[in-house]
Amino acid sequence: MSTSSQSYPMSGGDDQHSYIHNSSYQKAVIDGVEEKARQYILEKIDLLNLNPDLSTFTIADFGCSIGPNTFHAVQNIIDIVKLKHLKESQGISTHVPLEFQVCFNDLPNNDFNTLFRTLPPSFEQKYFSVGVPGSFYGQVLPRNSIHIGHTSYTTHWLSKVPENVCDKKSPAWNKNYIHCNNLLEEVTEAYKVQFTKDMSVFLKARAEELVPGGLMIALGECFPDDVAMYETWSGIVLDTIGDCLLDMATSGVLTHEQIELFSMPVYFPQYSELERAIEQNGSFTIEMMETTRHPLEAKQLTNDFVTSMFRAFLSTMIEKHFGYTVVDQLFNQLAKKLSKHPLDFEKCKKNMVYYIVLKRNEH
Amino acid sequence: MSTSSQSYPMSGGDDQHSYIHNSSYQKAVIDGVEEKARQYILEKIDLLNLNPDLSTFTIADFGCSIGPNTFHAVQNIIDIVKLKHLKESQGISTHVPLEFQVCFNDLPNNDFNTLFRTLPPSFEQKYFSVGVPGSFYGQVLPRNSIHIGHTSYTTHWLSKVPENVCDKKSPAWNKNYIHCNNLLEEVTEAYKVQFTKDMSVFLKARAEELVPGGLMIALGECFPDDVAMYETWSGIVLDTIGDCLLDMATSGVLTHEQIELFSMPVYFPQYSELERAIEQNGSFTIEMMETTRHPLEAKQLTNDFVTSMFRAFLSTMIEKHFGYTVVDQLFNQLAKKLSKHPLDFEKCKKNMVYYIVLKRNEH
């Protein structure tokens, strides 16, 4: 029942290039906001008011990928809710022990087999797990069925590449660039339109699924309003990957035409753009919207770390467009380019990590 | 949160040996009882009494494997419930359209990726799908969360091989036999004990998960009380597979020791044994318990059909115990033996297909 969307899951399985082994950058963010999540959930969610007969508390992670970050995130939420429930039910004799259900959502071609195989062992994992296949750009769970929704580093994946950016006749054609680096105004505009549309669909779907009073927690990256993608270190890495592809076209491994028809369905919004998208939805109240620096950004990330991280992030997409054989060579070249021209994290402009808690309005 | 159990999923993927392409025997049963299911659900389930504010109707298929049978079965249930709901809500102005959620349950090593990839297209599949990894010999879903449970050809898979049957020092040792063919009394007894224990756990878990008044539909095969496994055609096929393994031991492909330590965690109960196991649970009322002949059993099944069906059923287990290389040779030999000594379906004693509708008692 989900809308169609282009789908590039994180690298599955658990080999050295998999997302499982290359998700520590995201993990660092989760660790950083853990304490904030704790405080806000304790303050904001009123379990017994949600439903005095509540016996199952349901949590959904939208765009969960394959762990371990998703397991960590949902366990944190459960720990806090348990604490809160215990406090609220003190002195109530009819207190029923709460059961937890966790809905792990991702696209149908996500590697759910690996997700399920790597679930925490049953003595730790005191919740019922279900996998929910479907694009989060559409309703994937029943109305009023979720108490806390969570999504981390997901909505920068657009539902599709904005159509005109791969059209050589359009003023919004992205030429030899492979992502929205903000160097071409019409391209940026096309990405902005798609992002706004997608966020609207995302929030509308979550508004259906969440119970009134339920919380939606969203983490990800955005830019300060005066920063462009090409000025940030991740923008520079993506432009460098674009350069590697051009080198490979020159040496005949792939064609220039292939690059001209490729642009990533990925967009990091500016802060005010993100805020506007949420306010326009109207079903949620922004309880908290904070930004921080990424905890790892202060350090000089190693080239190996950066290469592995972008490989896990991009390989499925690269493989689909350019073919399987290109992946190894591309990321080998990226590693070489990065060692010749190391990223200067001090000079790069900075992304922001956003951390948002939304409350579903009562009807 | 599920109990541990030995797990031999049906052959995954969608190649020629997969369960997807070898599940027509089970499908024939489902077709046969479709009309009965329709009638009983229409009579027995009272949706609006279950919960007048009901907005999501939840169905679970326990031991769903990877389709297409599971999709067919749940769609039938949904069609009937929709009809019933429409009838019951006529004239009620506050009528909310019902949403459906289907919980596809199987062991964590079931091929959920294939299950999700082969879900009916969204324009047909008017329900939300979730995958539930976990042994059905344990609670896999929250309390009071399921309105109709379904299970088809599953509970003959025991949670484990009865311990003593692979112990060469035990009087219950199953010697060179690979399943409970009822030729050794102590072996039969060990299997009966395990089956009774497993059914008790299965029903206890379903009693937790089903709402009061909810229905549990179970299909499978059992024997008339006076029939032994070795007298039936499927018993004969399994004994023939055992003979093939012995031949392979003689020719050195595997060892006699391996066969002596192997016995399948599979048991088909007698009719009265099954009835007793349900009655002992006490949480359910038997609304209907019928048996029929298998619709395909009247025909002489072809050797190819039988070989493919048993290969899909057994290959994971054979592979795990005897190694990957054994599977092809084993089923080639089975095909040869069957063509030399064709099954005489007329002479074989008959299994029964059982079809049970249980109603979860009110607390």
Contact B116 A131 (CB under 8 A): yes
Report CA Rg, chain A.
21
CB B327 within 8 A of CB B315: yes
Q: How far is residue B264's CA from residue B255's CA, in Å, rounded to a whole number?
A: 17
Q: Is the peptide bond before B133 cis (omega within 30 degrees of 0)?
A: no
Q: Give domain status of residue B19, yes or no.
A: no
| Number of residues assigned to chain B | 363
For residue A104, the distance in angstroms to the closest alpha carbon of chain B comes to: 9
What DSSP designation does A163 have? G
Contacts of B113 in chain A (CB under 8 A): 109, 111-113
Q: What count of CB pairs under 8 Å joins A to B?
A: 95
Most B CBs within 10 Å, among A7, A130, A140, to test the B interface: A130
In a domain, B240, yes or no: yes
How large is the angle between the packed helices B233-250 and B326-340, nearest 10 degrees?
120
Angle at the Cα of A85 from the Cα atoms of A79 and A86, rounded to 5 degrees: 90
Task: Tell me whether residue A234 is in a domain.
Answer: yes
Alpha-carbon distance of B37 to B41, in angstroms, equals: 6
Q: Considering its fold, how many domains does chain A have in total? A: 1
Q: What's residue B4's pLDDT?
A: 38
- Residue of chain A minimizing CA distance to B107: A116
CA distance B304 to A124: 46
Instruction: Identify the bridge partners of residue B215 per DSSP, sorted by sequence position.
Output: B148, B359
- H/E stretch holding A204 reads helix A185-209
In a domain, B277, yes or no: yes
The pTM of the full predicted model, rounded to 2 decimals, is 0.89
Name the interface residues of A facing B (CB cutoff 8 Å). Answer: 1-2, 55-56, 99, 101, 103, 108-109, 111-113, 116-117, 119, 122, 125-134, 139-145
The answer as to whether A17 is a domain residue is no
What 3-state DSSP class applies to A285? strand
* Nearest residue of chain A to residue B101 (CA atoms): A142
| Helix-helix angle A24-44:A69-88, to 10 degrees | 10
This model of the complex carries an ipTM of: 0.86
Under an 8 Å CB criterion, which residues of B touch A? Answer: 1-2, 55-56, 99, 101, 103, 108-109, 111-113, 116-117, 119, 122, 125-134, 139-145
- Across the interface, whether the CB atoms of A112 and B109 are under 8 A apart is answered no
Give contacts of A113 with chain B, Cβ < 8 Å: 109, 111-113
CB contact under 8 A, A129 and B130: no
Q: Which residues of chain A have pLDDT under 70?
A: 1-34, 37, 47-50, 93-95, 295-299, 363
Does B143 contact A99 at a Cβ distance shorter than 8 Å?
Answer: yes
| Interface residue of A128, A140, A143, A144 to substitute, partner B, most B CBs within 10 Å | A128
Q: Which domain holds residue B75?
A: 24-360
Q: What is the pLDDT along chain B (363 residues), one digit of tens a residue?
A: 433 345 666 666 666 666 655 566 666 666 666 677 677 777 777 766 667 778 899 999 999 999 788 998 899 899 989 888 888 877 776 667 889 999 999 999 999 999 999 999 877 778 999 999 999 999 999 999 999 999 999 999 999 999 899 999 999 999 999 999 999 999 999 999 999 999 999 999 999 999 999 999 999 999 999 999 999 999 999 999 999 999 999 999 999 999 999 999 999 999 999 999 999 999 999 998 888 877 666 567 889 999 999 998 899 899 999 999 999 999 999 999 999 999 888 889 988 889 999 999 986
| B9 is a domain residue | no
Instruction: Give me the CATH number covering residue A317.
Output: 3.40.50.150
Nearest CB neighbour to B128, from listed A1, A101, A144 = A1
Instruction: Indicate whether B35 belongs to any domain.
Output: yes
Q: What are the chain A neighbours of B124 within 8 Å (beta carbons)?
A: none
